[in-house]
Amino acid sequence: MTTGKQSGKYQVKIVPTAQKDLRDAAMYIAQDSSANARKFVADVKARTMF
């Protein structure tokens, strides 16, 4: 993930490695709870404007 300041806000660029890490984390969490995995991904996307 890289950031760059733009108009007082940060622009977040999600690199392919970060996308894979998010997917891997979600799959790991889903082993216990698919609902928690979906919530985790949604929370990450909401916080990073993914």
Q: Domain locations in the chain?
A: 2-48
Query: pLDDT-based confidence at 48, cuts 50/70/90?
Result: confident
**23, two tokens:** 């997917």
What is the Cα–Cα distance from 24 to 16, expressed in whole angstroms?
A: 12
10-45 confidence digits (pLDDT tens): 777 889 999 999 999 999 999 999 999 999 999 998
- Of residues 40 and 47, which shows the higher confidence score? 40
- Alpha helices per DSSP H over 1-50: 16-30, 34-48
Contact (Cβ atoms closer than 8 angstroms) between residue 29 and residue 36: yes
Phi-psi domain of 7 (left: phi exceeds 0; alpha: psi -120 through 50; beta: other): left
